[in-house]
């Protein structure tokens, strides 16, 4: 979400090539998660992957991207960010372009810096869009499966074993459908709880301020 906001602010400018950049942002979200998982598995492969091949060109040591717990988690995060951040960028970009210009122009006349305009005007006005973005990313977090399974299958050592992957392993490898269903319900309950906090806490704060 943070990366999406930062890129949206950059792309929202009137620099040359921004229109092409906005068009290219449509590509990653349109690719199937299974294809993304396979591509990044090949990219991070230690033997024939492109990333380690580039490291060898600069005489840098190979990195066990998919076989070391910490690096495997980093690899999965990179793949997820690559696919989902452009959607956040487009969402924030739509919000930025719909903001009223009068407060920003008044702040500019008053001598506010770009950071002050962003922090005190843009962010408060973008709060509804930010809430929607957070909701979408939370939902994505609890339903992510394809990319993780195709890249690491939850390993190594359970470093990338998400609830969705764990439920799949219980159901189709351990053949324990009862526990698999329980894990799925736990994931659903956690997502609903987080979404409730996300919308409930601001509502309570606004209600108290109104009183």
CATH number of 115's domain: 1.10.3720.10
What's the domain range around 22?
2-161
Dihedral sign of CA atoms 193, 198, 201, 207 in order: negative
Whether residue 202 lies inside any domain: the answer is no
**pTM (two decimals):** 0.86
pLDDT beyond 80 at 105: yes
The Cα 33–Cα 145 span in angstroms is 9
- Quickly count: other Cβ atoms within 10 Å of residue 173's Cβ: 10
Alpha helices in 98-126 (DSSP H): 101-109, 114-117, 123-125
> Do residues 37 and 152 make contact, with C-beta atoms less than 8 angstroms apart?
no
pLDDT beyond 80 at 204: no
pLDDT beyond 90 at 150: yes
pLDDT category, 201, cuts 50, 70, 90? confident
More confident residue, 1 or 90: 90
pLDDT beyond 70 at 211: no
Helix, strand, coil shares of the chain, percent, nearest 5, are 75, 0, 25
Q: To 10 degrees, the CA torsion angle through 125, 130, 135, 140?
A: 160
In this prediction, residue 77 carries a pLDDT of 94
pLDDT beyond 70 at 165: yes
In this prediction, residue 177 carries a pLDDT of 93
- What the block records as the tokens of 103 is 């407060």
Whether residue 211 lies inside any domain: the answer is no
Whether residue 174 lies inside any domain: the answer is no
Whether residue 129 lies inside any domain: the answer is yes
> Do residues 8 and 89 make contact, with C-beta atoms less than 8 angstroms apart?
yes
- Quickly count: other Cβ atoms within 10 Å of residue 35's Cβ: 13
pLDDT beyond 80 at 203: no
More confident residue, 33 or 141: 33
Q: Please give the tally of structural domains in the chain.
A: 1
Q: What is the mean pLDDT of the chain?
A: 89
The Cα 194–Cα 187 span in angstroms is 11
Q: Give the mean pLDDT of 61-75.
A: 94
pLDDT category, 153, cuts 50, 70, 90? very high
In this prediction, residue 195 carries a pLDDT of 81
- What the block records as the tokens of 181 is 């269903």
Whether residue 186 lies inside any domain: the answer is no
Whether residue 190 lies inside any domain: the answer is no
Angle between helices 177-210 and 163-172 (to 10 degrees): 160
More confident residue, 40 or 18: 40
Whether residue 110 lies inside any domain: the answer is yes
Whether residue 178 lies inside any domain: the answer is no
């Amino acid at each position: 979400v943070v990366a999406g906001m930062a890129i949206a602010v950059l792309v929202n400018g009137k620099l040359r090539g921004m229109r092409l950049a906005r068009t290219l942002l449509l590509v990653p979200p349109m690719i199937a998660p299974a294809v993304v998982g396979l591509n990044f598995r090949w990219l991070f492969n230690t033997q024939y992957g492109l990333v380690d091949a580039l490291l060898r060109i600069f005489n840098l040591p190979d990195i066990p991207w998919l076989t070391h717990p910490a690096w495997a988690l980093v690899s999965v995060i990179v793949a997820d960010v690559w696919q989902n951040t452009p959607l956040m960028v487009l969402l924030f970009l739509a919000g930025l372009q719909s903001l009223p210009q009068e407060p920003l122009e008044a702040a500019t006349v008053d001598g506010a810096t770009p950071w002050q305009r962003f922090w005190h005007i843009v962010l408060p006005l973008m709060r509804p869009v930010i809430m929607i973005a957070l909701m979408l990313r939370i939902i994505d977090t609890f339903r992510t499966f394809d990319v993780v399974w195709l890249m690491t299958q939850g390993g190594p050592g359970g470093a990338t074993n998400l609830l969705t992957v764990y439920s799949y392993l219980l159901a189709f490898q351990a053949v324990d459908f009862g526990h698999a269903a329980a894990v799925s319900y736990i994931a659903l309950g956690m997502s609903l709880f987080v979404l409730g906090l996300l919308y409930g806490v601001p509502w309570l704060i606004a209600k108290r301020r109104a009183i």
